[in-house]
Every structure is written in structure tokens, then in C-alpha cells.
Amino acid sequence: MEGLIAPHGGKLINRVLEGKEREDAFGRSKELKKICLTDREISDLEMIGIGALSPLEGFMCKDDYHSVMDTMTLKNGLPWTIPITLSTSTEVAKTLKEGKEVALADKDGDVLAVMLIEEIFSHDKEKESIQVYGTHEDKHPGVKKVHDMGEVLIGGKVSIIKRVNHTEFKEERLDPLETRALFKEKGWKRVVGFQTRNPIHRAHEYIQKCALETVDGLMIHPLVGETKGDDIPASIRMRCYKALIENYYPKDRVVLAVNPAAMRYAGPKEAVFHALIRKNYGCTHFIVGRDHAGVGNYYGTFDAHYIFDEFDRAAIGITPMFFDYTFFCKKCGGMASFKSCPHDSAHHITLSGSKVREMLRNGACPPPEFSRPEVAQILIEAMKGAAQA
């Protein structure tokens, strides 16, 4: 689409079949061996199909898989940091053949796609854990997912027959083709994307608005795929985002759309991955905060900033916008960061996540310098409901 940033690799991939192609593939799928996908694999399948993971046209084959781990690029040299793979057991793999098709189904057995098997190869779980997540510890949620996967990986192009029928956030489920059309309609040429899996508090709001000062529009793009069990559910988070936009954002300069991806919790490597996804959605800029996509103490506070120095910026394509730790400074009388505030921490209003959760559980609103009251009230009600359930 003229005037917008090119997708990663130059072409927006579309692997969703329509018309006769879809009918023919559906007919063939009835006779094929089925592989039932996990929730994360279903998210990856959808993301591949709609072009959010361009230039990928399917699950990775061996060369791309190892290249991503070894060099943070696909085998063609294009930056890429997270393996996108489909696994199965050794027993099932013995029934499959390269050059043949297999049906990809959900947990109920409904076929979502067919896949032409290009390669069947060993899943190097130890290498993937260390080189993608930086640890082999099972307590890391991303590593746990890797260890729970099958021993064999299957690579090949996918063709989607049936898209997942999402019942939530229908209005906000915009594919890359749709967000690009929307940005063009609005006349936005410079668009900043914001990744989130949490409610937006004042620090997030501050960095979004700082970024918004320099671009045409902001896309708040919360991840609504699979997350950790203790993360706040997407349905509650979406109410928070809408309350914020309604009361505190210029509505003509903000788009709220959902990202159907699953979280990996891969820290710096996932920061690059998230940036490339937003590039495919049409963003020219991407906000990278402190401990982006982090979990526990596995990554340094600003590792997600430093990793971008390892890439040629032209090859990445999208411009990262780096933000320091932000807070409300009583002496400054407003939001600030360590880059802009000269005062010591005694003047800063900061709260730990555990302290905020304790306040919310007790029905107490955190100070307005930390969280907007509308957001706090939604979270209080949600926690009260969860406690009563």
C-alpha cells in the first residue's frame, strides 16, 4: 500500500484460502492424517495466515530454525529472533512423509489448515532454551513450553481453510491488511505501536504520549493470545484500555487493535520479534520500554534496548523508540524519567507490582499519580469478582 512502511521481507503474506481453493483443500483434508495443535500453535498459524509473521509462509524448516537461533536471522539473512515451529511426537512423525500434506486441527478435531510437509527434523530443545530464552530452567514459562513440546518438528507452508472463530474483541481484531488500510484512510504515515500484556498505568501512558508527540498516530496493540496463568485476563485489560482512551487520549489519533499472538517471555529477543510484527501491521515506530517481554530476573532491565544495536537498522526497517524507567516526581510536579528528572527517589511515586495488587485486592485505589482511577476501579471489581468465584 503506497505511503506505508513495507512489510518485513517486502510482501504481506496471505495464506488464507478462499473460494474453490478452500473447497478443494477442505475436501483433501478429510483423507489426511491430523495433527492437533496447541493454543500457541493455533495463534502462530493464524499469525502466519494473515501476514503478521511475514515473510513466513508456514512453520519453519530446519535451516531457518537453526539460523534464527544461531544468527538471529532467517537463512536468507533477514532479521528474525523467535523460532516459529510445529512439533509432534516421534510416534506421530513416523506416520508422516515429506512431500505429503497433513491436516492441522484444533483440540476438538476441527481442521483449520492443511500443510505441505517440506521437512521433518529433530527438535533441539536444549539449544532453543539457551539461545532464545537464555536459560534451560523449567520455571521460565517460555522454556517450560519448549520442554513440553514434541521431540520432532515439522516444517512447511500452511494453507488456512478455517479461521478461528474468536468470540471476544471482534471489533478490535484487525488483520495487518486492515490496519494498513485504516492508517492510509487516516492519512497516517508515521505510526507508533505499543505492545502490552498488562493494564496501562501512568508510566505507560506517559511514554505513549511522548511517542505520540513525534508521529501521526498510536496503535495500542495488546497481546490477547496465550499468556501466563497469573497475567491479568485480556477481557479485563481491554476494559482498562477502552476506559483510558475514552477519558485521556485524543480518539482521532489512537487505534486500539488486538494482537492474537501468544507470549513467549523471551525478553530482548521477543522485543525485536514484537517490533517486526508491528512493522507488518503498518507501524513505522515501536515503543521499547524497560524489561520488555521479560519475566522474573532472567534479563537485564535494558537488554531489550541493547539488542537492537546488533542489527542493521535498515534491515529491521521499523524504528525502535527507547524509554527509560518512568514515574511521577512530586518535585517536578509531573511524570518524568531518570533521563529528565534531577531529583532523588524520595520525590518519586513508585509502587511494586505486589503492593499494587495488595491495594486492589483490599479495594483501595493506588494513588492517581500511579494509576488512573477508572483503570483502578475496573481492576478492583475484577479482583473482587475473582475472589468471590
Residue 339 to residue 150: CA distance in whole angstroms? 46
Q: Which of 14, 22, 198, 361 is catalytic?
A: 198
In terms of Cβ atoms closer than 10 Å to its own Cβ (0-12, 13-18, 19+), residue 76 is exposed
Q: Give the pLDDT confidence score for residue 179 in this predicted structure.
A: 98
pTM of the model: 0.96
Comparing C-alpha atoms, which of 130, 131, 96 is closest to residue 114? 96
Mean pLDDT by 10 residues, the chain (389 residues): 84 98 97 96 98 98 98 98 98 97 96 98 98 97 97 98 94 98 97 94 96 98 91 93 97 97 97 98 96 94 97 96 95 96 95 83 92 95 78
φ, ψ (nearest 5 deg) of residue 256 = -105, 115
Q: Give the pLDDT confidence score for residue 81 in this predicted structure.
A: 98
**What integer best gives the mean pLDDT of the chain?**
95
C-alpha distance from residue 243 to each of 43, 249, 304, 377 (Å): 27, 10, 29, 10
Residue 269 to residue 148: CA distance in whole angstroms? 21
Q: Which of 180, 197, 237, 372 is catalytic?
A: 197
Cα 158 to the center of its chain, rounded Å: 20
C-alpha cell read off for 316: 529491521
Q: Give the pLDDT confidence score for residue 361 in this predicted structure.
A: 86
Q: Give the pLDDT confidence score for residue 2 in this predicted structure.
A: 52
Residue 319 to residue 138: CA distance in whole angstroms? 34
Comparing C-alpha atoms, which of 166, 352, 145, 130 is closest to residue 228? 145
Write down all domains in the chain, each with its CATH number in brackets. Answer: 19-160 (3.10.400.10), 176-259+265-388 (3.40.50.620)
Comparing C-alpha atoms, which of 200, 192, 293 is closest to residue 241? 200
> Is 247 one of the catalytic residues?
no
Comparing C-alpha atoms, which of 356, 357, 142 is closest to residue 263? 142
C-alpha distance from residue 274 to each of 102, 245, 370 (Å): 29, 22, 26
DSSP calls for 211-271: HHTTSSEEEEEEB-S---TTSPPHHHHHHHHHHHHHHHS-GGGEEE--B-PPP---THHHH
**What number of CA atoms fall less than 13 Å from residue 103's CA on the CB side?**
19
C-alpha cell read off for 46: 493464524
What tens digit of pLDDT does each residue of 34-67 get? 999 999 999 999 999 999 999 999 999 999 999 9
The helix/strand/coil state of 199 is: coil
Residue 85 to residue 194: CA distance in whole angstroms? 25
In terms of Cβ atoms closer than 10 Å to its own Cβ (0-12, 13-18, 19+), residue 279 is buried
Q: Give the pLDDT confidence score for residue 231 in this predicted structure.
A: 84
Q: Give the pLDDT confidence score for residue 1 in this predicted structure.
A: 43
C-alpha cell read off for 161: 481453510
> Is 278 one of the catalytic residues?
no
